[in-house]
Structure 1
Amino acid sequence: MKKYLFLILLTLIGLYVFAAPLKVAFIYVGPVGDDGWTYAQNLGRLYVQNYFGDKIQTTYIESVPTANAVNVLKQLALNGYNVIYTTSFSYMDQTAEVAKLFPNVIFENCSGYLTGPNMAVYFGRIEEAEYLTGLIAGSMTKTDKIGYVAAFPTPEVIRGINAFALGVQSVNPKATVQVVWVNDWYNPPNEKEAALSLISAGCDVIKSETDSPAPLQAAESKGVYCIGYNTDQSSYAPKTFLTASVFNWGTYYKDDIQAILDGKWKTHNFWGGLDSGVVGLAPMSNLVPPQVQNLVNAMENAIKTHSFNPFSGPIYDQSGKLMIPAGQSLSDQDLLSMNWFVKGVIGSISK
């Protein structure tokens, strides 16, 4: 009888464990209300929470300082979270450190490169979307001066600027892209000031790569065209917004969490482009002429089908040196370590 009761108890425990939701945590580098990077990440969290329902339980911690990341990660693991996404390159080393201490927890870092048995990395080839926005900017400028508000001179940002500039020059070889560094991911006052300085210098299209809509608001206040980043920020500049290069993180998180629930997860380095749906364009506004929209749609299809690569030669750097010969393309490793600007970009790699 005791043996029978024990078997029933084991069965009930097994059913409870099986039925327990997967606990998933996200740590964010900025506030969820930034309407940029962190807002886009949180949309992904909300998407999977709704998609999987009671199969998962999600939480997030916003504006986590890099210096405090290890403590936050340890506490989440101790609190029983099965999966922890760290949504910034600045958390990569800390994620790798804590992953070794909790081998039964899955850790994933966004935009990093360190992996391990229980640690993966993921990102989107946003530069493909940046190329498309460059086609629009190059077609819309009248002064042939385009401004780019950028965060930090990391390879990720540099290749985005370069892809944008290559798109610009493919339709307007005379146009230049002037870069101003904010040296912060989220700093609305500095982002606004950077945009206004570019407008004062004669730029009539402003491209933002930072996390707030401040550059777009500055452009709207001056009647200057603008192009956003991370999310569709059209509501902040309804009279001058053209489009935005955006992340759709829910696409990745859904497939990744499904693999975990199915017991098929393994370490990986995901870097999805336009063809994956993780990156894309916000709807183009009516300000963009039909012929330009048709060009963008055609080039988007060419990139998705791999019949065109924005980083195919010949491509020259700022000094005119041939960096990518005709018939060749940059490897992923070259893209991940990019530290030079293409011809037509005005600015320095240094901060």
Structure 2
Amino acid sequence: MNLTKRALMTGAAMALGLAASGAPVLAESHSEKTKVGFVYVGPVGDGGWTYEHDQGRKAVEEHFGDAVETVYVENVPEGPDAERVMVQMARDGADLIFTTSFGYMDPTINVASKFPDVKFEHATGYKTADNVSVYSARFYEGRAVQGHIAGSMTESNIIGYIGSYPIPEVIRGINSAYIHAKKVNPDVEFKIVWAFTWFDPAKEADAAKVLIEQGADVILQHTDSTAPLAAAQEAGGIIGFGQASDMSEYAPSPRVSSIIDNWAPYYIARTQAVMDGTWESSNTWDGIGPGMVGIGEITDAVPEDVKTEALALKDSIASGEYHPFTGPLKKQDGSDWLAEGETADDGTLAGMNFFVEGLEGEIPQ
């Protein structure tokens, strides 16, 4: 999606003022509607993770029209305040609430137990209940494509990676990117900086600058702002990738491609299920094939042969012909993990807490 569409109209800007104060923002207000709430960890204008979730919310409005009312609260910390926001949404009549960050998992379960008639959908977690579903995307599939491009294009053989928090989702991405960079460039080295934030442009920019100073000429990120791309652009001679959203304003370089989260079809389907009375607790984990993970345009800054290989990799993952975690693979400590041709099971991936062989540094606890 083109981020120039992020310009907010005056009415939306007034709504954001309410969101900042902690009050739910009403996208529309009509009676006898299905009311759908969204809890966001960052601002809707972050250009990445929250921006794409909000595009999904807008798609719900566009699809259902006057049959729905959506509300959202942005910049909700992952802690007790998240429970307060969820409780308020439920009390205000929400029929369905999407909680869109890993740290909302326990607050979602706690609030759901108090409102059994409200349906809850938690992004990237694993705890469910009769009225709580979980959903996530196989971002690691996109990381494989990024790793291939990064390993093929680095000239310093140093790739920098900005991690948000050391949770399985992020660790999977680091491992997948490294495996596929290493396949095309045996000399590649990853340097990882943990930002311990999802969205903090200043911290993200500083992390990118540290990695560039350490010799990285490719920057990967699992944080939500465009700041690392801006830092890469300022430094010159560095490439990077859009995270969660296309971030195409930085194309054709430093942004040479992107991972795009496409939540709209899921949000529409789950809202429809509530309307139909067919909603059931479920666990959804989709990737490139079903379209929940998109690969943004690979720009002409990428050599044509590398682009062709990256698109072939994408297609093989989408078809199920290839799994990004296919053995032989060892863990960082040298112990065996996957034998030749063996693929990782979802249980191991969902709880991944180790680096693969070749990655340096410890995972913070």
Shared fold by TM > 0.5?
A: yes
Q: Which residue of 2 aligns with 1:49?
A: 61
Q: Which residue of 2 aligns with 1:58?
A: 70
Aligned-partner Cα distance in 2 for 1:342–1:73: 38
What letter is aligned with 1:247?
A: D
Kindly indicate whether the alpha-carbon contact (under 8 Å) linking 2:232 and 2:239 is maintained by their aligned counterparts in 1. Answer: yes
Aligned-partner Cα distance in 2 for 1:160–1:169: 14
Q: Which residue of 2 aligns with 1:313?
A: 327
What letter is aligned with 1:58?
A: T
Query: Does 1:262 find its partner at 2:276?
Result: yes
* Match 2:309 to one of 289, 295, 317: 295
Aligned-partner Cα distance in 2 for 1:271–1:199: 34
* Match 1:24 to one of 36, 45, 64: 36
What letter is aligned with 1:229?
A: Q
Query: Does 1:271 find its partner at 2:318?
Result: no
Aligned-partner Cα distance in 1 for 2:358–2:52: 30
Deviation at 1:20, TM superposition (A): 2.1
* Match 2:51 to one of 39, 45, 53: 39
What letter is aligned with 2:219?
A: I
Aligned-partner Cα distance in 2 for 1:317–1:331: 15
What letter is aligned with 2:47?
A: D
* Match 2:91 to one of 49, 62, 78: 78
Q: Which runs of 5+ in 2 are unaligned?
A: 1-30
Report the secondary structure of 1:264's partner residue. Answer: coil
Deviation track 1:3-48 (CA, whole Å, cap 9, x = no partner) reads: xxxxxxxxxxxxxxxx822100001111111111111111111111
After TM superposition, the runs of 4+ consecutive aligned structure 1 residues lying more than 6 A away are none
Kindly indicate whether the alpha-carbon contact (under 8 Å) linking 1:209 and 1:228 is maintained by their aligned counterparts in 2. Answer: no
Kindly indicate whether the alpha-carbon contact (under 8 Å) linking 1:77 and 1:105 is maintained by their aligned counterparts in 2. Answer: yes
What letter is aligned with 1:79?
A: D
Report the secondary structure of 1:32's partner residue. Answer: coil
Structure 1 residues 237-256: aligned runs within 5 Å: 238-256=252-270
Aligned-partner Cα distance in 2 for 1:218–1:343: 30
What letter is aligned with 1:52?
A: F
Kindly indicate whether the alpha-carbon contact (under 8 Å) linking 1:340 and 1:349 is maintained by their aligned counterparts in 2. Answer: yes
Kindly indicate whether the alpha-carbon contact (under 8 Å) linking 1:106 and 1:118 is maintained by their aligned counterparts in 2. Answer: yes
What letter is aligned with 1:298?
A: A
Deviation at 1:237, TM superposition (A): 5.7
Aligned-partner Cα distance in 1 for 2:74–2:307: 37
Aligned-partner Cα distance in 2 for 1:61–1:81: 13
Q: In structure 2, do the counterparts of structure 1 residues 43 and 255 end up closer, same or farther at CA, with 3 Å as the change threshold?
A: same
Deviates more, 1:67-76 or 1:155-164: 67-76
Deviation at 1:239, TM superposition (A): 3.2
Q: Which residue of 1 aligns with 2:138?
A: 125
Q: Which residue of 2 aligns with 1:160?
A: 173
Q: Which residue of 1 aligns with 2:112?
A: 99
Percent same amino acid at aligned positions? 42
Deviation track 1:259-310 (CA, whole Å, cap 9, x = no partner) reads: 2222221110011111111112111111112211211111111111111111
Q: Which runs of 5+ in 1 are unaligned?
A: 1-18
What letter is aligned with 2:356?
A: V
Deviation at 1:244, TM superposition (A): 1.2
Aligned-partner Cα distance in 1 for 2:182–2:341: 19
Aligned-partner Cα distance in 2 for 1:106–1:283: 36
**Rg (Cα) greater in structure:** 1
Kindly indicate whether the alpha-carbon contact (under 8 Å) linking 2:82 and 2:107 is maintained by their aligned counterparts in 1. Answer: yes
Aligned-partner Cα distance in 2 for 1:289–1:337: 36
Deviation at 1:228, TM superposition (A): 2.3
What TM-score do the two structures reach when normalised by structure 2? 0.88
What letter is aligned with 2:272?
A: Q
Structure 1 residues 106-185: aligned runs within 5 Å: 106-185=119-198
Aligned-partner Cα distance in 1 for 2:172–2:310: 19
Aligned-partner Cα distance in 2 for 1:190–1:53: 39
Q: Which residue of 1 aligns with 2:14?
A: none
Aligned-partner Cα distance in 1 for 2:44–2:116: 29
Report the secondary structure of 1:64's partner residue. Answer: coil
Q: Which residue of 2 aligns with 1:208?
A: 221
RMSD in angstroms over aligned alpha carbons? 1.4
Deviation at 1:158, TM superposition (A): 0.2
Kindly indicate whether the alpha-carbon contact (under 8 Å) linking 1:220 and 1:237 is maintained by their aligned counterparts in 2. Answer: no
Deviation track 1:109-149 (CA, whole Å, cap 9, x = no partner) reads: 11111111111110000100111111110111111111101
Deviation track 1:308-343 (CA, whole Å, cap 9, x = no partner) reads: 111111112334332211132211110111111123
What letter is aligned with 1:92?
A: M
* Match 1:190 to one of 203, 227, 241: 203
Deviation at 1:238, TM superposition (A): 4.7
- Would you say how many aligned residue pairs link Structure 1 and Structure 2? 333
Deviation track 1:166-205 (CA, whole Å, cap 9, x = no partner) reads: 1111211211121110111111111111111111111111
Structure 1 residues 217-236: aligned runs within 5 Å: 217-223=230-236, 224-236=238-250
What TM-score do the two structures reach when normalised by structure 1? 0.92
